[in-house]
Structure 1
Amino acid sequence: MTDERKLPQLVMRLANLASLPALELPAGYHLRHFEPGDELHWEAIVEKSFGWSRDFGRRIASHPYYQPERVLFICDQEKPVATACAWEEPQWEADCGYLHMVGVDPAYGGRGLGYSVSLAALHRMREEGKRHAVLETDDFRLSAIHIYLKLGYVPAYEGSELEERWRQVHDKLNIPFIPRPGVQAATKPGKPDKPNEDALVLNERHRIYGVIDGVSSMTGYCDADGSTGGWIAAQLLARELGADTPQLELREAVLRANSQLMQRMDEVGVDTSEKWKRWGAVFAVVKVHASYFEYVQSGDCMLFARYRDGSIRVMSRNQVAGFDHQSLTALRELKESGTLTEEEISLRMKPIAIGNRNLANMPGGYSVMNGDPALASLMEYGHISLANVQRIYAVSDGMFHFIENDEDPRKWEKFLNELDVQGIKAYMERLVEEEELDPLCEKYPRHKKSDDKSAVIVELARINSSV
C-alpha cells in the first residue's frame, strides 16, 4: 500500500436499510457465502485489492461475530472474485451493521462488482434485523467511496479537520461538497432564579436546529427536583430532536415526545382530561438537507428565512397572538376600572386563561405539544427549497414579546435586522434592559416582565456557495 493512511479513518453512515434496491448481478456471476476452503480465495482478493496480506483465520474467523453466512463472495463461474462482510463491531449501535472488507479482484474491475457485493452485504444485515449501517474507509479509496455514496451512505464528521478531509475527497471525485451550516444560538431565562423552560436544539449530526418553549401547567406542578411541567416537556422534546440515532425524522420525533409527555403526566397523576392542567411545549425546528430544509412549528415560536437579496420570508404564524391580545385587553380594562384589587383581577383573569388553554390543538385554537394526539394534524410542517436562502431563524416568543401585537407590517424585518446587526446575545441583553425600564408591562403590554428567550440562526451562505 503506497498511499498514506490518515487516522482516524473516515466514517460513512447509511441511515436506513429498509429501502435497499434489489440485488441484480451481472450476467455470468452468482452470489454465495463462505464455504470451507475459501480462506485462500478471500486472502487473495484482499491482497490484490488492498495491497497487503491478511490471514483469514486471525482477521475474520476469530471474530466473535463471525458466521460463514456473513462473509459473501461474488463468483465468476466457480472462482470468487469479489468479497464483503456483513459485520458488526461493538463501538456502534446494536442495530447497526458494519460493512467490512469490501474487495474486488482488479482483473474484474469496472463491472460493478464492488457495488453488488456491498449491496449483498447490506441485504444480509437487514435480514438479521439491522436497521442501519456504518463503514470506515480511507481518504485515498476514491473508487470505494464513490460506490458507498451510490449506495446511499453519507459522510459523518465532527470537527473542522474531518470536514476538510471530506471536502478534499469530494473535490477529487468532482462531487459537490455540502458543508455544515454555521450556527449561532443562545438561550436565557426570564428570571435568573427560575428554571429556563426554553430549550435549544443543536443536532449537528442530523443538521437539526431550533427552539422549544415549555408551557407549564396552570396548577403550578413541580417535581421533587423543582422542575416544572413546562421544563419537563421542553426537555423531552429536546432529547428526541437531539438524538444521535442514525435515522431521525422531525415530525416523528415530535410525535414520539408528545406520547412520552402524556405517559409522564399520567405517571404523576396529572388530570389530563382538563387541558389547562396539562404541561406542554411549543417549538420551531428545521432540518437542513443538501437542497432543501424541513420544518416543524407550533404555538408562538417563529421561523423566518432571509434570502440573498435581503428579503424576509415569514414561514410561520404566531398562533396565540390573537388570544394573548384578547387577554391583555381584558387585563388592561380590569386594571383601568380602578375598583379591583390585584387578587380580584387575578381571579377574574383565570377563566380567560383557562379558556385559552382549553383551545390547545383545536381547529379554532393553536397547536401545542401537550400529549394530545391531535397535534399530529395541527402542528405545521413541510419543506422549503434552499435556493438563495442565506439564513434561517428560529426564535421563542420571549425574543419578540414587545412586538407581539404590533401592527407594523415590517415588524419582523426590523426584528431580524436587529438580530443580524447585534447578534443574539447582545440583542438579549438589550431586551432585558428595556424590560427593566418597563417592570409593570405598561409601555409594552405583556403577561410578565421578562420571559425565557431563545434563538438559533443557521447561516447557509457556505452551503449555497458550495452547491
Structure 2
Amino acid sequence: MKVQLFQQTSPLKQECEDALICNEALKLYGVCDGATPLIEFQDENGHNGAYLASHLFRQHFESISNVYSLQTEVAIANQLLQEKMQLYHIDMAKKDQLWCTCIAAIHITDKTIEYAQLGDCMIVAKFVDGSVKVLTEDTVKGISKRAKQQREEDRKKGLSVPNEAIFTDKKEQLRYNRYMANTLNGYSVANGMNEAISLIQQGELLRQEIANLFICSDGLFHLEWPLEISAQFVWEHGIKKYLKIIEELEAKQLIHPDDKTAIIIHL
C-alpha cells in the first residue's frame, strides 16, 4: 500500500485552514477543510475558527488508538469542538460565528474500508474491475441557490426576512448560508451542532475490491471535470501535474485559489 499526502496553502491566507489526517498505526486517513470565518475571532496563538476546527479534528483522529466506527469518532470530535467553542465563549445560537470544518475520512482494515464524510471534502474509489465511483455527495454544492429559495419561501409564509438586495453583499450571503448548516435543505458540516451527526455520510467497502482511493478538499475541484476524471488523472499522472492544470485554470478564470489538500492511496 502506498500513501501520498499533499497540501498547499492558498497564497491569500495567513495559514492553511485545511488539515491532513494521517494515523498510520490505524491506517486512518482524512482531509478536513475549515470554513473561513465571518468574524474576526483569533485565539491566543493567532488561529482563527477555521484553523481551530480542522486541526481539532486532525488532532483527535491522530490521537486515537482504536476505532469503533468513523461516525462515532466524527461525533466525538464534533462534541470536542462544541466544548472548545464554549471555552472561548462562542455563542452557539449564532451559527455564523461557529467554527466549522468539512471532513472526509477513511479507515482501512485487513478486510474493509470504512468511510465517513460531512460537507464538501470528497472521496473517490477505483475498483479492481476498473470502474471509478465518487463515494460521497457534496452537500455544499448549490447552497446559495437553495438559500435564496429558502428566503423566498419564508417571505411567502410571512416570516421576517431581509430584502433580497442585501444578499448581493457576498458576506451577507455567506452569513445567511451558515444558518443553513445541518438543516434539511442546507448542507452538512462539523460545527459543534448535534444535528450534524445524523447527516454524516458513511459506508463500507471490501478492501479486496478497491485498487485506488483519492480524498481531497474543494480547492482541488476542477470546474469542468467531474471528480471521477480528476481522480483518474491524479492516479495516472500524479498530483503535481493535476495541480498545474488547476492553477492554470484559476489564473485564466481569475478564481481565488483555495487551500489544496489531498491523500492519494494505491492499494
The 2-side partners of 1:377 and 1:250 are apart by 13
The 2-side partners of 1:345 and 1:427 are apart by 38
Does 1:319 find its partner at 2:139?
A: yes
Does 1:425 find its partner at 2:240?
A: yes
Equivalent of residue 290 in structure 1, options 102, 110, 115: 110
Q: Deviations over 1:300-340 (max 9, x none)?
A: 11111101232111111110111156689xxxxxxxxxxxx
Asked whether the equivalents of residues 234 and 281 of structure 1 are also in contact (C-alpha less than 8 Å), the reply is: yes
Asked whether the equivalents of residues 146 and 186 of structure 2 are also in contact (C-alpha less than 8 Å), the reply is: no
Q: Deviations over 1:123-173 (max 9, x none)?
A: xxxxxxxxxxxxxxxxxxxxxxxxxxxxxxxxxxxxxxxxxxxxxxxxxxx
The 2-side partners of 1:235 and 1:222 are apart by 14
Equivalent of residue 451 in structure 1, options 255, 258, 262: 258
Equivalent of residue 303 in structure 1, options 115, 118, 123: 123
- Which letter does structure 1 place at the counterpart of 2:56? L
- Measured at CA, do residues 363 and 271 of structure 1 come closer, stay the same or move farther in structure 2, by a change above 3 Å? same
The 2-side partners of 1:246 and 1:350 are apart by 41
Equivalent of residue 250 in structure 2, options 430, 435, 445: 435
The 2-side partners of 1:193 and 1:304 are apart by 27
Match of 1:354 in 2: 175
Secondary structure of residue in 1 paired with 2:75: helix
- Which letter does structure 2 place at the counterpart of 1:383? E
The 1-side partners of 2:73 and 2:247 are apart by 33
Q: Deviations over 1:14-66 (max 9, x none)?
A: xxxxxxxxxxxxxxxxxxxxxxxxxxxxxxxxxxxxxxxxxxxxxxxxxxxxx
Bigger RCO (CA 8 Å, 6+ sep)? 2
- Which letter does structure 2 place at the counterpart of 1:454? T
Equivalent of residue 210 in structure 2, options 389, 409, 432: 389
> What RMSD, in angstroms, separates the aligned Cα atoms of the two structures?
2.3
* 1:279 CA drift (Å): 0.8
The 2-side partners of 1:223 and 1:301 are apart by 25
* Percent pairwise identity: 29
Counterparts of 1:231-246 in structure 2, within 5 Å, are: 231-246=51-66
Asked whether the equivalents of residues 125 and 211 of structure 2 are also in contact (C-alpha less than 8 Å), the reply is: yes
* TM-score normalised by length of structure 2: 0.86
Counterparts of 1:454-465 in structure 2, within 5 Å, are: 454-460=261-267
Q: Deviations over 1:89-128 (max 9, x none)?
A: xxxxxxxxxxxxxxxxxxxxxxxxxxxxxxxxxxxxxxxx
Does 1:270 find its partner at 2:90?
A: yes
Q: Deviations over 1:273-298 (max 9, x none)?
A: 01111111111110011121111101
* 1:248 CA drift (Å): 5.7
* 1:384 CA drift (Å): 1.7
- Which letter does structure 1 place at the counterpart of 2:187? Y
Name stretches of at least 5 consecutive residues in structure 2 with no aligned partner.
Answer: 149-164
- Measured at CA, do residues 183 and 325 of structure 1 come closer, stay the same or move farther in structure 2, by a change above 3 Å? farther
- Measured at CA, do residues 324 and 302 of structure 1 come closer, stay the same or move farther in structure 2, by a change above 3 Å? farther
Asked whether the equivalents of residues 186 and 425 of structure 1 are also in contact (C-alpha less than 8 Å), the reply is: no
Counterparts of 1:7-156 in structure 2, within 5 Å, are: none
Secondary structure of residue in 2 paired with 1:283: strand
Asked whether the equivalents of residues 240 and 254 of structure 1 are also in contact (C-alpha less than 8 Å), the reply is: no
The 2-side partners of 1:285 and 1:313 are apart by 16
Match of 1:369 in 2: 190
* 1:272 CA drift (Å): 1.6
Equivalent of residue 9 in structure 2, options 167, 175, 189: 189
Q: Deviations over 1:355-376 (max 9, x none)?
A: 2111111122121110001122
- Measured at CA, do residues 432 and 312 of structure 1 come closer, stay the same or move farther in structure 2, by a change above 3 Å? same
The 1-side partners of 2:12 and 2:244 are apart by 13
* TM-score normalised by length of structure 1: 0.50
- Which letter does structure 2 place at the counterpart of 1:354? R
- Measured at CA, do residues 347 and 226 of structure 1 come closer, stay the same or move farther in structure 2, by a change above 3 Å? farther
Secondary structure of residue in 2 paired with 1:306: strand
* 1:269 CA drift (Å): 1.9
Asked whether the equivalents of residues 120 and 140 of structure 2 are also in contact (C-alpha less than 8 Å), the reply is: yes
- Measured at CA, do residues 361 and 193 of structure 1 come closer, stay the same or move farther in structure 2, by a change above 3 Å? closer
The 1-side partners of 2:215 and 2:13 are apart by 25
- Which letter does structure 1 place at the counterpart of 2:72? E
- Which letter does structure 2 place at the counterpart of 1:359? M
Q: Deviations over 1:430-459 (max 9, x none)?
A: 4223322332x4xxxxxxx11111111121
Matched positions, count: 251
Secondary structure of residue in 2 paired with 1:359: coil
Name stretches of at least 5 consecutive residues in structure 1 with no aligned partner.
Answer: 1-180, 329-343, 442-448, 461-467
- Which letter does structure 2 place at the counterpart of 1:417? Q
* 1:394 CA drift (Å): 0.8
- Which letter does structure 2 place at the counterpart of 1:427? Y
Match of 1:228 in 2: 48
Does 1:380 find its partner at 2:201?
A: yes
Secondary structure of residue in 1 paired with 2:208: coil
